[in-house]
Structure 1
């Protein structure tokens, strides 16, 4: 069992907390960053839901991606860094720069701190949004050689993920001084929620189970958060992962109507409100004129978002559970934690 110290940024995040759980199971000590120590108790309670009560094996450091303060101290003594923190702009109508600048600068702050502290490797939690958006229709699955085409119709969040990951690779090439980097690019991340603060992707399942009246014609890859955490640890430790990106998807992508079918088949009465009919594209476009959330999904209507995780399987021996299991685990956790509308 290792007693090495790993820094996990953004300890209040869904993926970050599952990475902390996986690291603790493997015997690592963990330090995690939060913007305020007032959230330490919440993080520890969520980890308890996930089966861990780490006590002194887990410590907290205050650091904000928008400022230099605290990062040098947070990285001190860490063998590895898992960088999952992602800035979220305040305000409903944030500009592209409100998304992009904090993401780029945040990545560079963490990489500088890791390099200066002598860490061996940083694993960056990037996103499928840096791989598979803005393209013309593809006749093959997306892979790690693909980068999102920012000349296409790309939402600000996806632009920020693309430009911040590119900035990270540029930093390593020019200023890394031996620091290694690996990136994990997950599709929609499902799996067991640990508390009321969960990922954007889990809202897909929650809104379905809460009775969303119809389903937009959207296709997405899915992956369980526990397998995403496992991939982060493999990317952290395996020599073959240095300098590589890894797409995280379980099997084939799915249409939302297929996800609804899984919920009906596996969740019984808990899925009684789940709609199975597709909303026509024209209706979604009409709604997008008034609802920003609907506007953001218009570019994805009818687009096949299939991708392949063959590289992670081949190089790192990664073997994720089926997407159906991730969907069911998500739904079961929402029921168990009473996070659904009654």
Structure 2
């Protein structure tokens, strides 16, 4: 480990950010969280897995930044840091109240762009940061038409780039994709223009599934992360709208983000993180996984086998990622097993709460 191993992490109150925190602490980093309120920071510090690590205040702390898009928002947060992982970004509502469509540009695109560039500018004022990791998405480098079934057989990898969709944005996912493209394109342009002493690595996952420790009640699973989309299928939702089958395990993405801090990984590049080969997974295979591994949950109604979710194939090549980091990305089957086991455990604990009906 380098002499200074202070890692600044944004977004730790979210699904992927929290898992990234867990991996970083276990890897020996001292972590300073950037949170929007003290209550959010306290919630993370109180999580069972974090308390189990018995991290001292010197090992784990947080600073409050109410508005990540404000000028100079990160100036104090990044002082003395050696590394930064930026997970915080506007995400679709996933069952929560969505913003007014008229605000999509401001809520998604402008916030993501201002936060990304503002963070880079704050880091540039220091002389300690060696590397920055940005959590991006394959929505940042693949045209929207592919995700809605109007693409072709082109194979995308981490080096593909697309222009920013200027809008207007009719749906959340369109605005979300534009926000990720805005962040990816503008951050890479900023790096080229400013030639800072630090370097930048972008991680581009697909749908992210897996255990979410911050979900502690059945209702928590219904909102707030991509898990809710998969769980909707497993509780019998009937969707006619196809979704891309490019999936990622939260543990894999978190591990890659932390491992990417190593100087053995060349900087100023990007990595896609999608499982099950170039063609990805089929959503309805999740039902077969549950039939095989959790038949009792189907028989008693905790999970259902009548869900419908067509898949659109978007071809993504993640072989560079597997080779660089020396891993085999977790299969969709294992992702479903992990999430279903977690869900069934929560449901059993809260057996008196109506759920999945």
Q: TM-score, normalised by structure 2?
A: 0.81
Please state whether the residue corresponding to 2:255 is helix, strand or coil: helix
CA distance in 2, matches of 1:44, 1:334: 23
* Contact 1:61-1:70 within 8 A present in 2 as well: no
Contact 1:22 1:230 in 2 (8 A): yes
Shift of 1:248: 0.5
Query: Which consecutive unaligned segments of at least 5 residues does structure 2 have?
Result: 93-97
- 1:167 aligns to 2:192 (yes or no): no
Partner of 1:14: 15
| Local SS of the residue matching 1:33 | strand
Q: CA–CA distance in 2 between the matches of 1:111 and 1:230?
A: 23
1:47, 1:310 → 2: CA distance? 35
Q: Describe the shift of the 1:59–1:188 C-alpha distance in structure 2 as closer, same or farther (beyond 3 A).
A: same
- Greater percentage in helix: 1
The 3-state SS of whatever aligns with 1:335 is helix
| Matches for 1:315-330 after TM superposition, within 5 Å | 315-330=324-339
Q: Check the 8 A contact 1:137/1:304 in 2, yes or no.
A: no
CA contact (8 A) 2:90 2:107 kept: no
d(CA) in 2 for partners of 1:26, 1:277: 39
Indicate if the aligned counterparts of 2:91 and 2:108 stay in contact, CA closer than 8 A.
yes
- Deviations 1:58-105, CA, capped at 9 Å, x for gaps: 100111312235511110111000000113597242333431111100
Alpha carbons of 1:238 and 1:320: their partners in 2 closer, same or farther (altered >3 Å)?
farther
Alignment of 1:81-92 (within 5 A): 81-87=84-90, 91-92=99-100
Correspondence 1:107-126 to 2 at 5 A: 107-118=116-127, 119-126=129-136
Moved more, 135-144 or 168-177: 135-144
Residues in 2 aligned to 1:85 and 1:311: alpha-carbon distance in whole angstroms: 25
Shift of residue 336, structure 1, vs aligned partner = 2.3
- Aligned pairs for 1:207-226 (under 5 A) are 207-214=232-239, 216-226=241-251
**What CA deviation, in whole Å up to 9, does each residue of 1:7-35 have, x standing for no partner?**
00122111111111111111110001100
The DSSP-based 3-state class of the residue aligned with 1:240 is: coil
**Structure 1, unpaired ranges of 5+:** 280-300
Distance 2:78 2:47 in 1: 23
Q: Which residue does the alignment assign to 1:286?
A: none
Q: Structure 1 residue 215: deviation in Å?
A: 6.1
Instruction: Tell me the residue number matched to 1:243.
Output: 268
Q: CA–CA distance in 2 between the matches of 1:52 and 1:337?
A: 23
Does the Cα contact within 8 Å between 1:217 and 1:278 map onto a contact in 2? Answer: no
Contact 1:9 1:84 in 2 (8 A): yes
Partner of 2:304: 274
Paired residue secondary structure (2:118): helix
Per-residue deviation at 1:229?
0.9
Q: How does 1:281-300 map to 2 (within 5 A)?
A: none
**Distance in 2 of aligned mates of 1:174 and 1:321:** 37
Paired with 1:318 and 1:112, the residues of 2 have a C-alpha distance of 33
Over 3 Å counting, the alpha-carbon distance change for 1:167 and 1:214 in structure 2 is closer
How far apart, CA to CA, are the structure 2 residues paired with 1:240 and 1:29?
20
Q: How does the TM-score come out when normalised to structure 1?
A: 0.84
Q: Give me the whole-angstrom Cα distance separating, in 2, the residues matched to 1:202 and 1:50.
A: 24
d(CA) in 2 for partners of 1:40 and 1:337? 23
Distance 2:344 2:235 in 1: 11
2:140 corresponds in structure 1 to 130
Matched, 1:261 2:288: yes
Classify the secondary structure of the residue corresponding to 1:7. Answer: strand
Q: Choose which of 156, 164, 181 in structure 2 pairs with 1:142.
A: 156
For the structure 1 residues 195 and 335, does the alpha-carbon distance in structure 2 shift closer, same or farther, using more than 3 Å as the test? farther
Count of residues in correspondence between the two structures:
321
SS at match of 1:117: coil
